[in-house]
Amino acid sequence: KAPVVAIVGATGAVGVELLRCLESRGFPLGGLKLLASPRSAGKTLDFKGEPVTIEALTEESFAGVDIALFSAGSGISKRYAAAAVKAGAVVVDNSSAFRMDADVPLVVPEVNAASLAGHRGVIANPNCVAAIATVALAPLHRAYPIRRLTAATYQAASGAGAAAMEELRESTAAYLRGESFEPKVLPHPYAFNLFSHNADMDEETGYNGEETKVVAETRRILGTPELPIGITCIRVPVLRAHAMALTVEFDEVVTVEEARTILGNAPGLRLVDNRAANYFPMPSDASGQDDVLVGRIRQDIGDPSGKSLALFVAGDQLLKGAALNAVQIAELLLKR
Ligand code: A2P
């Protein structure tokens, strides 16, 4: 029988997209439960043209639920995931709470679907950069093992939630009116600016929490626990799609043509690589799209050995970076 699905954090930036993904993909539903904070209880969200009433999340919310999609932050996941599992639900968790737990699979369906088999009630949905990057890296890695990765990211507001997206809109409007704007959600002015990712900074290493997560999760998803990864994560004034420059070193020479063929045939990817038109992946084209865009595939002239390629990737943070990947995991659960 069709599963009863709960969305925890249904009113959030990701929660709303979870609802849209379930709707647009025709996910078979035996019932739908929308959960959020008491502030939202009693309000409604539309699903297939019908209003569904939002309930306040409690430990009792999961009776009869088969699949619980969590997207209300780590604190809520840590506090309520156990109650959901106890009630018999499988949790697909979008937060970072359990991603590095050995008995919690960290899954990108195009990359490591098989790892789902070992789950014990909780499955982790990766960090958005790790999910989007590995969709592009895994097909290359399968053909030619990756020896080293260097990444610079250009991350959208959506990764910091609906309030950060609103702050980008409001601060941009204020800037254009010539008014001053005091940031409330993000630590720095966002309009016509960019800044080092706002995750907690480790003063000792100089790396922030986003960078640390992307490194650890990329290694885990690719199954390369020792892969050397250098990374700089930057927040840019884009609403909902992340972009990233990836420099990938292989064990052997990989030609641009080979890389194009591999990436052009890989699931979840779309090649956008038109040198003549100077047309490459852009957040504006990636926004609202399920596919991750990949292009600017070229030899990295910074590596004289010829064994490195440079790529540019863009993917919708709210879709492949969050909601879509979670719903794809739920679809894999149904198949099993
Ligand atoms: P609410 O809208 O009622 O505050 P975002 O990532 O876009 O900031 O969204 C966070 C999501 O987490 C929202 O759906 C929010 O609901 C939900 N949330 C925040 N605090 C709680 C809580 N204490 N219990 C349940 N859901 C919560």
Cα–Cα dist 131/321, whole Å? 6
Q: Same domain for 112 and 138? A: no
Question: Which atom of ligand 1 sits closest to the CA of residue 162?
Answer: 7
Look up the ipTM and state it: 0.99
242 is catalytic: yes
- Is there an atom of ligand 1 within 6 Å of 56 CB? no
Dig out the tokens for 318 from the structure. 């709210």
245 lies in the same domain as 122? no
Contact between residue 25 and residue 323 where contact means Cβ atoms under 8 Å apart: no
How many residues can be counted in the chain? 336
Burial 68-90, CB ≥16 within 10 A → b, else e: bbbbbbeebbeebbebbbebebb
**CATH at residue 236:** 3.30.360.10
Same-domain check for residues 81 and 118? yes
- Residues 293, 177, single domain; the answer is yes
247 within 8 A of 237, measured Cβ to Cβ: no
Give the three-state DSSP class for 122.
strand
Strand partners, 245: 152, 312
**What is the number of structural domains in the chain?**
2
The CA distance from 294 to 271, in Å, is 5
Give residue 223's Cα distance to chain centre: 18
Q: Is 188 exposed, middle or buried (0-12, 13-18, 19+ CB in 10 A)?
A: exposed
Same domain for 213 and 245, yes or no, is yes
Active-site residue, from 21, 128, 141, 233 = 128
* 106 plus 191 within the same structural domain: no
Tokens of residue 8, six digits = 């925890």
Give pLDDT tens digits along the chain (336 positions): 999 999 999 999 999 999 999 999 999 999 999 999 999 999 999 999 999 999 999 999 999 999 999 999 999 999 999 999 999 999 999 999 999 999 999 999 999 999 999 899 999 999 999 999 999 999 999 999 999 999 999 999 999 999 999 999 999 999 999 999 999 999 999 999 999 999 999 999 999 999 999 999 999 999 999 999 999 999 999 999 999 999 999 999 999 999 999 999 999 999 999 999 999 999 999 999 999 999 999 999 999 999 999 999 999 999 999 999 999 999 999 998
Are 120 and 170 contained in the same domain?
Answer: no
Q: Where are the alpha helices (DSSP H) in 184-248?
A: 209-222
Q: Are residues 168 and 83 in the same domain?
A: no
Do 96 and 164 sit in the same domain of this protein? no
**Do 216 and 249 have their domain in common?**
yes
Domain with residue 107: its CATH number is 3.40.50.720
Per the structure, the complete domain to which residue 160 belongs is given by 130-317
Query: Whose Cα sits closest to atom 6 in ligand 1?
Result: 161
Task: Answer yes or no: do 171 and 313 share one domain.
Answer: yes
Distance 150 CA to ligand 1 centre (A): 34
